[in-house]
Amino acid sequence: MNDSEITTIEVGGERPYQVLVGHDLLGELPPLLAGAARAAVLYAPPLKEYAARVADALRAAGIAPLPIELPDAEAGKTIEVAARCWDALGQAGFTRTDGVVGVGGGAVTDVAGFVAACWLRGVPVVQLPASLLGMVDAAVGGKTGVNTAAGKNLVGAFHPPAGVLCDLSTLRTLPRVDLVAGLAEVVKCGFIADPAILDLVEDDPDRHLRELVERAVRVKADVVGKDLRESGLREILNYGHTLGHAIEKRERYAWRHGHAISVGLVYAAALARLAGRLDEPTALRHRTVLAGLGLPVEYSIRAWPELHAAMRVDKKSRGNRLRFVVLGGLARPEILDAPPEDLLRAAYEEVGIE
């Protein structure tokens, strides 16, 4: 596909919007903020130069930019950082027709969406994810939030964006370790919905990067368009996340999200196989695909008691009962409700290392 071509992916639901995938998409930004006099541009330090280009594009369209630099990665995903943003909006006199632009990885787009959702009970937000993880996961779907001491993403709101611009040119400068980490969420989409993704990853993820982004976005767009508020179908997007989020919490968010989810995916596959739900070749494929990308597929065996406790605070839990998204086969996600303790432990022993 030509670099100048733009792919448009529709996200349905009560507040439909579009995800655009292509190169150099800043010209598409101002129309998404039609009627705004001001737009806050939230960004992390590594994206300062790109954020300046975003501000220039807004200024050229007659929209006054308000740049707000956030701490990088998960350090910026706190209620204190969000409060600082609200103070800045207040001082600048932001009204209901003004907007917010999130420029960066998943942490920045999560915070930008949360800031927009809460300011005057909701102003428009446009997401410009500049990481692979942001493009295929965080920026699409309208989930926003911050982390607390109790866990990841426990405080937030559902606030669909006015639009999402996946500018593939930003991936050229993304550190390799972050690109690979983002592929964990792409692989997840392959296992739960689109097995062609797995074939492309196994062939050459770099050569197929644009198609992988588009396929993963389509998987998420299809799911969230049918279930914005995670009342049913959307739960499948949390495949691998129950243990993954517990690992992130134990690591005080020093681990990349994709690295933790990679271990979580292998664990969920082991759990499904031991529960008699998933065939052995598909379970094994989790480990081979993820390890082949250089992603971790093991974690400390001694961490199990702490991880088990953390999983009980997971958003998918119901009362005392743990719930896991598992597979009944390739692209056949289902729920495993209240698995017995010995099964949970046995599955963990398959990913646990000394």
Is 77 flagged in the annotation as binding?
yes
Is 315 flagged in the annotation as binding?
no
Is 74 flagged in the annotation as binding?
yes
Is 230 flagged in the annotation as binding?
no
- Cβ pair 1, 137 in contact under 8 A: no
Is 108 flagged in the annotation as binding?
yes
Q: Which residues pair with 265 in a beta bridge?
A: none
Is 88 flagged in the annotation as binding?
no
Output b/e per residue, 78-105; b: 16+ Cβ within 10 A: beebbeebeebbeeeebeeebbbbbbbb
Structure tokens at 91: 């001082």
Is 23 flagged in the annotation as binding?
no
Is 144 flagged in the annotation as binding?
no
Is 32 flagged in the annotation as binding?
no
Tokens 């500049």 map to which residue?
130
Is 95 flagged in the annotation as binding?
no
Q: Which residues pair with 40 in a beta bridge?
A: 66, 100
Is 286 flagged in the annotation as binding?
no
Is 282 flagged in the annotation as binding?
no
Is 3 flagged in the annotation as binding?
no
Is 241 flagged in the annotation as binding?
yes
Is 172 flagged in the annotation as binding?
yes
Is 72 flagged in the annotation as binding?
yes
Is 308 flagged in the annotation as binding?
no
Is 55 flagged in the annotation as binding?
no
Please state, in angstroms and rounded to a whole number, the distance separating the CA atoms of residues 161 and 133: 17
Burial of 227 (0-12, 13-18, 19+ CB in 10 A): middle
Burial of 16 (0-12, 13-18, 19+ CB in 10 A): exposed
Binding-site residue numbers are: 72-77, 106-110, 143, 152, 170-173, 185, 241, 257
Binding-site residue numbers for NAD(+) are: 72-77, 106-110, 143, 152, 170-173
Binding-site residue numbers for Zn(2+) are: 185, 241, 257
